[in-house]
Amino acid sequence: MKYTQLGRTGLKVSRLVLGTMNFGPQTDEADSHLIMDAALDAGINFFDTANVYGWGENKGRTEEIIGNWFAKGGDRRDRTVLATKVYGNMGPDGPAWPNHDKLSAVNIRRAVDASLKRLRTDRIDLYQFHHIDRDTPFDEIWQAIDVLIQQGKILYVGSSNFPGYKIAQANEAAARRGGTIGLVSEQCLYNLAERRAEMEVIPAAREYGLGVIPWSPLNGGLLGGVLRKQATGGRRASGRAADTLADPASRARVQAYEDLLDKHGIEPGEAALAWLLTRPGVTGPIVGPRTADQLASALRAVELELSEELLTGLDEIFPGPGPAPEAFAW
């Protein structure tokens, strides 16, 4: 496994991030533990989750699965850089209850303690804001974070799904307070087929020293060889991926992508991950394996070298938007 520093921090993390969103809803606890063991054995030390994972009446279940894995011992916790998130409503099911979601100081402090209990640990290495909160000022957010850092409950803070201007606002507010580290990472939607983050999110992250952590690196499975799998009787696309393939132009791009990689003898999913690892500012993409075989495929991407010819071909199929403001102005 290869490692890099997380943004401007001294924290070293693996170039693949183990996403755990499937743990509970799609992968049972026993298999989830096997996948985490295999990831750690392979050198992946960066695990990502969120307090709402498990979803619905099972929200929080994914953190519990991870906590039970930590409880097995064997230095599992000390070898893991643990990231979780706050924002979604964690109140009781039924009508919405005030102050059980978003980024008020009240909810942040409550949510940290609840996550620590489910995760069966004394600290969260990277605490991430899962979404922007338009109602809570950053001075209030940072005041709550400062207290939690002083208490040793969290070490670093990151954002997720933030636009570029919110990354700037957050870190400028942190700088005004003095002594506040500010955001050190941004977790955003970014892959070959969805490159809008290149306009402003990634430039803002790089300007402020944030590591970029792409989620959905295979674009919902579209970049994982979906057409080949369908042709050979494998898993068919569903949801947003199926809707995308219903558009003839989008389907043609996916077909051209798979044809190009067939020519180079490279698996589509591995190429999509390897491409992200070439992008400036990217710490590592989040991979969310449901099985050990899917984890093994992701691991191969770290060692994959993409030729300039292939990179050029990928850009021709999935051109980026270009930098702002030139992408939309002169």
The Cα–Cα gap between 181 and 149 comes to: 10
The Cα–Cα gap between 37 and 135 comes to: 40
The Cα–Cα gap between 126 and 312 comes to: 35
Residues 6+ apart with CB under 8 A from 62: 20, 21, 23, 24, 49, 50, 53, 54
- Tokens found for residue 135: 């109602």
Half-sphere exposure of 129 (CA within 13 A, CB side): 30
Active site residues: 53
**Cα 58 to chain centroid, rounded:** 21
Please choose, from the candidates 208, 159, 210, the residue with its C-alpha nearest in 3D space to the C-alpha of residue 188.
159
CA dihedral 147, 67, 47, 83 (to 10 degrees): -10
Please report the sign of the dihedral spanned by the C-alpha atoms of residue 268, residue 272, residue 273, residue 274: positive
Please choose, from the candidates 316, 222, 219, 224, the residue with its C-alpha nearest in 3D space to the C-alpha of residue 270.
224
Q: Quick one: DSSP state of residue 282?
A: B
Nearest 5°: the CA angle 223, 227, 229 is: 95
Please choose, from the candidates 156, 137, 27, the residue with its C-alpha nearest in 3D space to the C-alpha of residue 82.
156
How do the residues of the chain divide into helix, strand and coil, expressed in percent and rounded to 5?
Answer: 40, 15, 45
Residues 6+ apart with CB under 8 A from 53: 20, 21, 23, 24, 25, 59, 60, 61, 62, 63
